[in-house]
Amino acid sequence: MVDLKQDWLTDGHIDFEYKKYLLLAYLQQAGNEFDAKKLYPKFSELLEHYRNLEILKEKKKIAVNNFPKEISKLDLEKFKIEYRSVVPDDELIREIDEIIAFAIPEFRTKMSLGRELYEEVEDKVEIFPVGLLPLEIEEGYFMLSDFMRRLINVYHYNITIFESAMEKYRGIHTKLVNQYEMSVTNTYQNIKYELIKGGKQMPAMYALEFKETYPLTETMLPVAKRVLVRYVTV
């Protein structure tokens, strides 16, 4: 597995060809994962690396614009004064700029492949409630059918809200609580009944089914979690 550290841009030797080699090896691995229909963790890693580069690029621009400037040209006839920054644009800065300029479009290309895979998988999932729902639905259970292994995986979920200075975010915590073999008797309703019989109050219960089979941990479960959050919080 080829990984890319969070500080890959500035860690160790800063050389365009070396960083290009590291980046392309990582992106090739990401492409291989997408070809195998494995969406995570590479897709979220790509998004984070891309955001970090964009932030770094913008912060460098702000820093350069805020450096002191000196007069480079004075035109008294047109009442025009031109300035130049006194920040030294040395070789190291130029090398980092070159790496960023190369990396950003490369990340965009691979991210578009990840988005295409995500949209493909999301289009193949169906979600529906199992039985009656209680008033509180931000905590409960969902069943994820893994037809390849003939299993129904039951997860407990809890949806929480995180607030930043700008907006609210919803997150979901999940835990696998049981697995059932697919059979005539192991219906969604029967599984829900088993949970209630085990001392649980009437829980919110949803079923998620994929029309095609994908890797469970890397693709179906992460997509199911996002679909569930959107379905419950609409």
Measuring CA to CA, which residue among 169, 175, 176, 216 is closest to residue 39? 216
pLDDT for the residue numbered 76:
45
For residue 140, list its beta bridge partners: 157, 204
pLDDT for the residue numbered 101:
94
Look at strands 204-210 and 139-146 and give their pairing. Answer: parallel
In a shared domain, residues 132 and 108:
no
In a shared domain, residues 29 and 116:
yes
Q: Do 171 and 159 meet the contact criterion of CB atoms below 8 Å apart? A: yes
* Average pLDDT for 196-203: 73
In a shared domain, residues 43 and 86:
yes
Q: Which of 66, 99, 122 is the last residue of a domain?
A: 122
1 within some domain: no
pTM: 0.80
173 within some domain: yes
In a shared domain, residues 95 and 159:
no
Look at strands 151-163 and 139-146 and give their pairing. Answer: antiparallel
29 within some domain: yes
- Please give the DSSP secondary-structure letter assigned to residue 16: H
In a shared domain, residues 89 and 150:
no
Give 140-174 pLDDT, tens digit per residue. 999 998 888 889 999 999 998 765 555 567 889 99
Helix (H, G, I), strand (E, B) or coil at 5: coil
79 CB contacts (<8 Å, ≥6 apart)? none
- What residue numbers bound the domain in which 156 lies? 126-233
pLDDT for the residue numbered 95:
86
In a shared domain, residues 112 and 136:
no
30 within some domain: yes
In a shared domain, residues 113 and 165:
no
Q: Which of 106, 122, 138 is the last residue of a domain?
A: 122
Give 60-85 pLDDT, tens digit per residue. 765 555 555 554 554 545 545 555 65
pLDDT for the residue numbered 64:
56
